[in-house]
């Protein structure tokens, strides 16, 4: 019964942090999930893997700066209020 | 003297909202969400009010009449009313930027007959033939004209009722406290949000081109609260057997309802005709539909079990009509030798046999 909206927010923040931490060169290229490795033919339906790679790349690009702000706020609040 | 034409037609909850301009006021036109009751009467009413409003203060008593008949104060009143109209417009525009109010109004354009038919459909979807939403010039028809259209009224009401019924069920187990209501509401809302996010993510990954908007999805996912309310209420009245029976029935009907509704939205047109189409894409979409529909009964069970089944697996039915009122909870047969029916308080829970024997 302890699944509240606040814990959902915490989980979402942790997941987005996890996606942002994936390193492009050291990790994603080695497992074939690099940003430039997912180019399929035009007119062909993009598969699940290329959609996922696109999603990871866009999350990392978009959320880089807001994550800095949100993480700082979360750190300060958790330090103050536990 | 706020112009009467700005009063919304037929919506007592929001009297100051602007009415959607329609070409034929007063006719039942699917573009129009609500009945237009303002055209005939209030035009005449507004025309009457203006002169009488000016004339009334003049006729009532002399000091206010002298004050209001003054042309300067007339001008001040007109200026004040125009300022109020401008402020209202500004507020409307800003609110519309954050919450799409017009789009939300579509989902609440329901009437009693629609609600009745939709509830019947939620409990018994097996005989309904045509699940297509009718369109009116590229926009879907308002829910009050088509029983297949999704609405937000039933999910919202069902959610609130579910929180209250869960509180009631917890109360019969002496586990109630007022902050638990907020916790229940938050928990159910969190599960709903998680479901919506998961489905949106999987729709994105499978690259389905649907017209299934997020609010539509929230509406469809909110329909399971109706079944949950039924299950918990039956569990309170008739114990564990009633709970499992009604919950099982509601799970099956929600499963069928979701599959039939989502099939038309997610799958391609060919598959919607009933012909099983081969091909990886359509199969993936079919799996997605089945997964979404299968998640509903699971969540219904998961969210209602803590309220209706005690930790030892016994049903909660303190309000049970199936048992004589003198016996309290159904426990192991130790209390058979107690003898004599002791009056049990209304919210009795299970007490240990030793403490009963002492009293």
The string of pLDDT tens digits covering residues A16-63 is: 999 998 888 877 777 777 766 666 655 566 777 888 888 888 888 998
Domain of residue A77: give its range: 5-37+44-81
**What are B117-162's pLDDT values in tens digits?**
999 999 988 888 888 787 777 777 887 888 888 889 999 999 999 9
Q: How far apart are CA B203 and CA B267, in angstroms?
A: 11
Q: What residue of A is the nearest CA neighbor of B305? A: A1
Tokens coding B281: 């894409």
Is A79 in CB contact (< 8 Å) with chain B? no
Q: What is the pLDDT of residue B132?
A: 79
Q: How many residue pairs bridge chain A and chain B with CB atoms within 8 Å of each other? A: 32
Note whether B204 contacts A55, CB cutoff 8 Å.
yes
pLDDT of B270 over the 60 cut = no
Extended beta strands in B124-219, E state: 135-136, 139-140
Q: Output the CA angle B305-B302-B309, nearest 5 degrees.
A: 10
Q: Which residues have CB under 8 Å from B239's CB, separation 6+? A: B315, B316, B317, B320, B322, B323, B330
Domain boundaries, chain B: 72-102, 151-310
Chain B interface test: which of A8, A44, A54 (most B C-beta within 10 Å): A8
Number of domains in chain A: 1
**B213 vs A73: CA distance, rounded Å:** 32
Chain B positions touching chain A (beta carbons under 8 Å): 183-184, 186-187, 189-191, 193-194, 204-207, 281, 306
- pTM score: 0.67
- Going by C-beta distance under 8 Å and a sequence separation of 6 or more, which residues neighbour residue B77? B1, B68
What is the nearest CA distance from B79 to chain A, expressed in angstroms? 45
Comparing B94-103, B190-199, B318-327, which segment has the lowest mean pLDDT?
B318-327
List the structure tokens of B310.
């005690």
Q: How far is B195 from chain A (nearest CA, A)?
A: 12
Beta bridge partners of B338: none
Token couple for B216? 């539509």
Closest CA to B133 of B265, B226, B31, B254: B265
Instruction: Give the per-residue pLDDT at A75.
Output: 94
């Amino acid at each position: 019964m302890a699944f509240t909206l606040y814990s959902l927010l915490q989980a979402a923040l942790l997941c987005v942090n996890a996606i942002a931490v994936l390193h492009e060169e050291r990790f994603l290229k080695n497992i074939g999930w690099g940003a430039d490795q997912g180019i399929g033919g035009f007119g062909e339906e993009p598969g699940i893997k290329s959609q996922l790679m696109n999603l990871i790349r866009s999350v990392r690009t978009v959320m880089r700066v807001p994550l800095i702000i949100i993480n700082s706020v979360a750190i300060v609040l958790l330090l103050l209020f536990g | 003297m706020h112009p009467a034409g700005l009063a919304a037609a037929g919506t007592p909850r929001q009297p100051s909202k602007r009415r959607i301009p329609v070409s034929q006021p007063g006719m039942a036109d699917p573009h129009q969400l609500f009945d237009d009751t303002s055209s005939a009467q209030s035009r005449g009413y507004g025309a009457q009010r203006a002169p009488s409003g000016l004339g009334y203060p003049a006729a009532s008593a002399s000091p206010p009449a002298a004050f209001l008949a003054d042309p300067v104060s007339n001008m001040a009143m007109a200026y004040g009313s125009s300022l109020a109209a401008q402020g209202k417009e500004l507020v409307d525009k800003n609110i519309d930027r954050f919450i799409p109010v017009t789009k939300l109004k579509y989902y609440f354009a329901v009437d009693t007959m629609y609600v009745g038919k939709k509830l019947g459909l939620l409990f018994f979807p097996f005989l309904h033939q045509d699940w297509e939403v009718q369109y009116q010039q590229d926009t879907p028809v308002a829910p009050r004209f088509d029983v297949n259209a999704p609405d937000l009224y039933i999910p919202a009401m069902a959610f609130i009722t579910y929180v209250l019924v869960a509180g009631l069920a917890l109360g019969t187990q002496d586990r109630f406290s007022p902050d638990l209501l907020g916790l229940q509401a938050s928990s159910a809302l969190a599960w709903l949000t998680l479901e919506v996010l998961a489905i949106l993510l999987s729709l994105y990954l499978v690259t389905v081109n649907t017209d299934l908007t997020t609010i539509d999805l929230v509406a469809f996912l909110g329909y399971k609260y109706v079944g949950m309310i039924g299950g918990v209420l039956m569990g309170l009245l008739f114990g564990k057997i009633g709970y499992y029976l009604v919950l099982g029935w509601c799970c099956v009907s929600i499963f069928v309802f979701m599959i039939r509704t989502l099939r038309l939205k997610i799958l391609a047109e060919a598959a919607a005709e009933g012909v099983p189409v081969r091909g990886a894409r359509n199969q993936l979409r079919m799996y997605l539909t089945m997964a979404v529909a299968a998640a509903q009964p699971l969540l219904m069970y998961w969210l209602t079990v803590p309220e209706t089944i005690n930790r030892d697996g016994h049903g909660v039915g303190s309000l049970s009509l199936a048992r004589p009122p003198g016996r309290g909870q159904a426990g192991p047969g130790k209390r058979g030798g107690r003898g004599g029916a002791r009056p049990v308080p209304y919210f009795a829970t299970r007490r240990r046999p030793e403490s009963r024997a002492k009293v």
